[in-house]
Structure 1
Amino acid sequence: MIAVQISNSGGADMLELVDLPTPKPASGEILVEVSLAGVNYRDTHLSEVEALSGGLRPIVPGMEVVGRTPDGTRVAAVVPRGGYAQYAAVPEALAVPVPDGVDDLSALALLVQGTTAWLLLHESARMRAGDSVLVQAAAGGVGTLAVQLAQEAGAGRVIGLAGTPEKRALVLDLGADAAVDSTAPDWPERVRRANGGQGLDIVLDMTGGPETARSRSLLAPLGRLVFFGMAGRVQPDPVPPSELLASSTTVGGLMLEHAMTRPGLLERAMGELFSRVTDGRLHVVSGGVRGLSEVQRVHEELAGRRTVGKLALDPRR
């Protein structure tokens, strides 16, 4: 089968098309003929993570696929590795049947980014009706879904951060009450003005670094900041517990892998998300479907923040 492989630490130029044996499913796994493989931001620095964890071995990236099992069932599945390929061996417990009313790209978007957005709001941030919500990278895969889910859940105000006029227009089209330029030096002041001069109840942070302190400064008492990424690849300054106590605020984080260990949680999130897409309440923004041969360019565009919505690779081309 044709697959994408990383053999050396580095950037997008380390992604190579190779011919590999079709994987043989182990106990508890099923073979899926991949229709689309999802692309996520964390894929763009997988080689660095592997190298730091004790040496890089040849790996096939990709953590999500949609396709058909040998009996013809269409499933979306999370995989530890191996998604960028024509076939993938996936854990049967993490394979979700896809309803007929949900297309392949939407199924991929909901599997990781949709469930992340849902869990951020409903589990990590404990969102309540009337809460004000700031979504960083609001034109991205998680962001576009979080904006819609927050509005549907009764947010008092949803504000999105995005770096270009086109992205901000998209965020407003998705239902945000305001879209703020994330590249503006005074973006925190603009966010506060967009929230009527008040602090925010929820901030979804995927940047890290010095921007996190600015995000925390926007929290109202009892406000919650939740990390769902570290796109800046710089750790924020530690937060002394005394500061959290003085401001009555909470800082947390979410890794989807941990949610998968909670029986029934992923299935409940997927069920609600599928229902919303089927009846038109939730819209998945396509960032484009490209062939495996274009994987280097796709990673460069994603790492350079030049994409919107959900990106996918078609292993048949």
Structure 2
Amino acid sequence: MNSEDKVSMTTDTGCDDVVLDVEGLRMRYGTTDVLREVTFRARHGEVLALLGPNGAGKTTTIEILEGFRMRSAGRVRVLGTDPARGDEAWRARVGVVLQSWRDHGKWRVRELLAHFGRYYVPYATEAVPRPWGADELLAAVGLSAQAGDKVKTLSGGQRRRLDVAIGLVGRPELLFLDEPTAGLDPRARHEFHDLVHGLAAEHLTTILLTTHDLAEADRLADRIMILSGGRIVADGTAADLARRTDATDEVSWTREGRRFTHTTGESTRFVRELFARHGEAIGDLAVRRASLEDTYLALVREPGSGNGLPTPAAAHGERTTEVAR
């Protein structure tokens, strides 16, 4: 998103910087606890990724925060309000991008955005003018060329951009994104990532996203929360979570015609010592850092393997292996 495509979207933070305040959240269906003691906070401008296997409770958590589902117990405040009691003025401050929807196929793109935008006019303030102008918003999501097209003629990727635009039309202070880049090609995905970074950094929009794309979560999120068995089993940056699980890097190299690999939690130190010992005899050096996927798999049990609590990290003792050639 280019600077000329952006508009001022200053958020009225008031005296309290906390946007999401969740403590002891529980959700029970019959005798089954879907969510158990879920607790976390988020502030203006934070991007949070909520990860977890299917059935972990992600959708239930999001629906409670959006005000679409009543919780069984716990304290929840979203923009200072209990979402179960949120009025229209509160809803005007929240944006939701669902995985997909297929209504309004006969509308033209600009007309549809302008139509939705009119609902936000009564909730405009000096700090947050609403709605976001249709043409500016189309430029921000890369749909200017399709402004006059009917929604039903858009490609899957273009429709996904429109979904995002509809979620943004009210200039939300808090944006929920459910699998936001599903169906986008690599270029569109990259542009969407830029849009998310701009919303958070320049407009202080708080963003909570769910995704199964761990690389995307690593790229977008300031914090990553992993939900498993109805509980938050990890909350922190990708680096924080990697340290928690003792995830290791893999170093590979060749020497005297032989290839070696070594796993270590201190790859920089190991490489320095390797060159001090063997110097120019070392070739084809490569370091594969521990990924968010490694960390995620260490923290979440496979479906059906137990109660969903974090798996104790495997003992990652340093070891060197010669690889057969």
Please, what TM-score do these two structures have when normalized by structure 1? Answer: 0.24
Larger of the two Rg values belongs to structure: 2
